[in-house]
Amino acid sequence: MIPINLIQSTAETLMNKAAIEIPEDYLTGLKQAAETEDGDLSSFVLQAMLENYEAAKEDRRAMCGDTGVPRWFVKLGNEAQVEGGMIALEAALRRATASATNGVPLRPNRVHPLWRTDHDNNVGIGAPEIEYGFEPDGAWIDLITVHKGGLFGTDYRMLFPSDGIQGIKRFYLDSLMAFGKRGLACQPAIIGIGLGGSKDICMTLGKRASVLRTVGSRNSDPRIAEMEDEFKELGNSIGMGAMGFVGKNMVIDCNIEVGYCHTGGMPMSVHAFCLSSRRAVARIHADGRVEHRTDPDWFTDYQRRETVEWEPQQEAAE
């Protein structure tokens, strides 16, 4: 049984880490981009970003004035038990979000869409979002917090099978150009692409690809992994760099996730995780151990399972 007070205290620690400390995989990718960037303004921005990250860590202050919209991803081993059940878990994550908003502090970005009601704690109807995943074995819980920008940097299009890979590339480049020219995302970023599913699942796949995959990871399908390499190179060939200035490092990495879809369509979404790439992860074990890491390890073989064991019904003999 995992104590609820341990869940809340761990969640508060994660909120602090996500807001202040850059994940090592993204930081490494950013340093590599800074070494190869030759655009004057893009180089200036990259160096300023790296200095800002160091200052944030030293001063224990949020790395960006816009601290995004905190959200949670929770993965449970099949034998995991939570004191008070899942309702208690959700309440603990909401309290941790409110506490961190006041303590880090985070900007209270969450408001009612119509009345603009603001509880000054990033908690409200449907906020923070809490999404779940499950694994076959284990009595542990993974808590993952992501502080992603909540305005732009996302696009969706219903493609058709006849559009093929070229159509996917076209929409990908259209999206990146719009993100850069119109200031709809802060580059360089981890780009997530969702392919397939219904519209809502397509959006979910793309967002998870951007925020729950580390820089340098590759899809377990080797053909998709090749596309990820190609799309990273393609995204960095359009002449844009940091914050949309002239340069050649707009994409730190490109991650693609897929889901089965209706035979007549090929839904696609594109998501840019902002240049702060704020995420933090911890696994809480039933014996009270807490292990912190930066890799969400969300997309396991189980999460990408394709079918199910089943026995087709035999037609009755005439």
In a domain, 315, yes or no: no
Q: What is the domain extent for residue 202?
A: 40-58+150-272
For residue 318, what pLDDT is reported?
52
* Distance of alpha carbon 297 from alpha carbon 288, whole angstroms: 21
Residue 131 lies in a domain: yes
Token code pair at residue 102: 């006041």
Q: Are residues 179 and 255 in the same domain?
A: yes
**141 and 83 in a common domain:** yes
Is position 31 within any domain? no
Are residues 78 and 175 located together in one domain of the fold? no
- Whether residues 95 and 113 fall in one domain: yes
Question: 95 to each of 100, 127, 249, how far by Cα in Å?
Answer: 9, 11, 38
Contact 110, 120 (CB under 8 A): no
Phi, psi of 117 (to 5 degrees): -60, 135
Distance CA 157, CA 172 (A): 10
Considering the domain architecture, whether residues 91 and 11 belong to the same structural domain is answered as yes
Give me the residue label for tokens 């960095």.
236
Helix (H, G, I), strand (E, B) or coil at 309: coil
Give the burial string for 273-294 (b: 16+ CB within 10 Å, else e): bbbbbbbbbbbbbbeeeeeeeb
pLDDT of residue 164: 96
114 and 97 fall within a common domain: yes
Give Cα separations from 115 to 14, 70, 120, 128, 181 (angstroms). Answer: 31, 21, 14, 18, 32
pLDDT at 10: 98
Decide if 80 contacts 137 (C-beta within 8 A): no
Given a cut of 70, the residues of the chain with pLDDT beneath it are 315-318
Looking at residue 151, its pLDDT comes to 76
Domain contains 316: no
Q: Cα dist. 148→41, 132, 286 in Å?
A: 25, 17, 30
Residue of 67, 110, 39 whose CA lies nearest to 279: 67
User: Does 231 lie in the same domain as 118?
Assistant: no
Same domain, 141 and 289: yes
Q: Tell me if the pTM is above 0.85.
A: yes
Q: Which residues pair with 146 in a beta bridge?
A: 71, 279
Quick one: 246 and 124 in the same domain?
A: no
Residue 4 has which token pair?
């609820």
- Count of structural domains, the chain: 2
DSSP 8-state code for residue 240: B
Q: For 10-21, write each residue's pLDDT tens digit.
A: 999 999 999 999
Same domain, 84 and 125: yes
